[in-house]
Structure 1
Amino acid sequence: MTMSSSVGVWVLVCAISSHLSVAQDLVAVTVLYRHGHRSILDPYPTDPYRNESFWPVPFGELTNIGKNQHYALGKWLRQRYTSFLSRKYMAKEIHIRSSNYDRCLMSAASNLAGLYPPEGDQIWNQALNWQPIPIHSRPKAMDGMLALEKPCPEYQRLQKEQLNSNYHQKIIAANSKLYVYLSEKTGMKIKDFIGANDIYDTLLVENQSNYTLPEWTQSVFPEKLRQQAVIRFEFDTHTPQLAKFGVGQVFDRILTQFDSRVKNLTFPKFQMLSAHDTNVFNVLNSLGIPNLEMVPYTGMVIFELRRNSYGKYYVDFLYKKSDRAELLTIKGCETDCDYDRFKAILKPLSSIWREGMLKAYK
């Protein structure tokens, strides 16, 4: 891990089970999760499954498996926050923001179906155990928080500079034979870990979808390509400067929500961010989580702002990648991280866009 040790994080040896009730001192919550299972994004030229007819949905779209995964996650959230969120949907309590990709929007809708099954006067159709709940988004080209496609010359400059650094050039040189092999077998020009990650993603989804992979993949999949994928994902927040662009707006949004709740300003106490593995990985990597693996479908980070009996505010940070949410400890803090200390740790990673954030959720 290359981030400054001042923002390092160690995993606390404990886990919070999905049925554990939440204490009444909870003040605000932000959850950020990856979408559910999808079809492949972009097949390589020699891919035997490159024809879209092999897939139940168009490339990059959420499958029925993915819908069920997020419906289950919504029920998990309902169980965990049953004493915090009203059982009936209350617009002032929760705000949902999604990356403007179908798979993320559909994941959010599936998740909300599990979180807010209609009750009482919110049952609007007796034959349908579902209710419409607003999901907010922005055009991809205007989204620098979740889709991360808003043009930013400075971020692109920093990425190019980092790609040409000794650290990453050594990685590229050490794996040159792998890139040549992949280029020969896939019909694509693979020149670095970025291209290798694209191949890994395609093979991983095909393998998860029970397709037989070509024989040539046996020598590189999964482990060699998985290593390339981890390098690729780590790249986006490899330095604090890169992290400011890769995850800074997410941290800004969390701090704005938490500050607003502490000051009793109008802001939803629960915010949900429906996004990608990149976003979840960026949060974990920028906070220095060791031994990172790829973020699974529905992988989720949770930030909880709490208040103790003395009126002091603190933050709990969790990562859910299975049926259990793992409690993490930020270096320099106790398990219940003092809120002022939490803000000081996040400040170097906060982006330049925080002004006006109070209006951004509307």
Structure 2
Amino acid sequence: MTHPVVLVGLFLVLAFQPPVDARAKRQVHDNTLELVHVIFRHGDRTPDKSVMYKNDPYINETYYPIGLGQLTNHENGFKMPEWAARVYPKIRHLAIMDYNVSTATSQLKRLSSVREFATRTLRRPNSYCPVYLRELVKALQSEPVKDFLKEHKALMEYVQENSGKPMNKLLDVFSIYQTLTAERTMNLTLPEWSKSVYPHGITEVAAKQCEIENSNAVLKRLNGGECRKRA
């Protein structure tokens, strides 16, 4: 029988686990809570170079001194852990007690300051699980997804024509969504062409990518396994 673990994440995962001696004294039942994930993002950021599109009016912007793909408001990055501790007081209790605390994040510079919030041990995922990727490709090539792409063909062609970036799959639209959202949160004026398809339209297609990434039991198990370091 495994023992309770509480995980808190924002593409950062904080793990709180009782010391061995404390766990040995506890009686664990079949209905004992074993794992909780609270996953959230790091806060608003500047546009990331990797998802900018050819005709982006801000493509040459360096966002100095913040830089590309960096947090614009560090305070927001700390609000979510504080919220989780307030809503789930046991998390704060575990952090205060002599419990093991570890973290895991994506390999992104913007996460470093947030990661330092309450970390003792750092565990970074360094690659995608190949089994997960194969399963994801199968899901993305399924007939329901093909039908969804056909239904949104006009929107994708419109975005491709105006953005200058090929729109062949859900992930292409998701990258446009990321860039437009980052620019909007910085109060930048979005290009005129985007007004008819963003946020409505582009958001729907982008959300489909996230849905497919967790669309069956295998994907859910492997996607969640990244947090637990086992699947």
| Same fold at TM > 0.5 | yes
Deviation by residue 1:192-219 (Cα, 9 ceiling, x = unmatched): 2221111111111101110001111111
Q: Structure 1: where are the runs of 5+ without partners?
A: 1-25, 113-132, 142-148, 254-350, 355-362
* TM-score w.r.t. length of structure 2: 0.73
* 1:134 pairs with 2:120: yes
* 1:106 pairs with 2:113: yes
Deviation of residue 176 (structure 1)? 1.2
Deviation of residue 79 (structure 1)? 4.2
- The answer to whether the 8 Å contact 1:100/1:137 transfers is no
Q: CA RMSD in A?
A: 2.9
Deviation by residue 1:82-138 (Cα, 9 ceiling, x = unmatched): 6764698566343222222222332222x44xxxxxxxxxxxxxxxxxxxx435032
Alignment partner, residue 166 of structure 1: 143
State the secondary structure of the residue aligned to 1:247: helix
Q: For residues 70-219 of structure 1, what are the structure 2 equivalents within 5 Å?
A: 70-80=77-87, 85=92, 92-109=99-116, 111-112=117-118, 133-138=119-124, 140-141=126-127, 149-150=128-129, 152=130, 154-219=131-196
Alignment partner, residue 30 of structure 2: none
- The answer to whether the 8 Å contact 2:102/2:123 transfers is no
Q: What CA distance in whole angstroms lies between the structure 2 residues aligned with 1:203 and 1:176?
A: 20
Relative to structure 1, the CA distance from residue 88 to residue 54 in structure 2 (aligned partners, 3 Å threshold; closer, same or farther) is closer
Deviation by residue 1:142-164 (Cα, 9 ceiling, x = unmatched): xxxxxxx34x0x32322222222
Alignment partner, residue 239 of structure 1: 216
Q: Which has the higher strand share?
A: 1
Q: Which has the higher helix share?
A: 2
Q: Structure 2: where are the runs of 5+ without partners?
A: 1-32
- The answer to whether the 8 Å contact 2:53/2:164 transfers is yes
Relative to structure 1, the CA distance from residue 83 to residue 214 in structure 2 (aligned partners, 3 Å threshold; closer, same or farther) is closer
Relative to structure 1, the CA distance from residue 53 to residue 60 in structure 2 (aligned partners, 3 Å threshold; closer, same or farther) is closer
* TM-score w.r.t. length of structure 1: 0.48
Alignment partner, residue 62 of structure 1: 71
Alignment partner, residue 42 of structure 2: 35
State the secondary structure of the residue aligned to 1:97: strand
- The answer to whether the 8 Å contact 1:176/1:191 transfers is no
Alignment partner, residue 329 of structure 1: none
Relative to structure 1, the CA distance from residue 49 to residue 91 in structure 2 (aligned partners, 3 Å threshold; closer, same or farther) is farther
- The answer to whether the 8 Å contact 1:100/1:138 transfers is yes
- The answer to whether the 8 Å contact 1:98/1:137 transfers is yes
- The answer to whether the 8 Å contact 1:159/1:242 transfers is yes
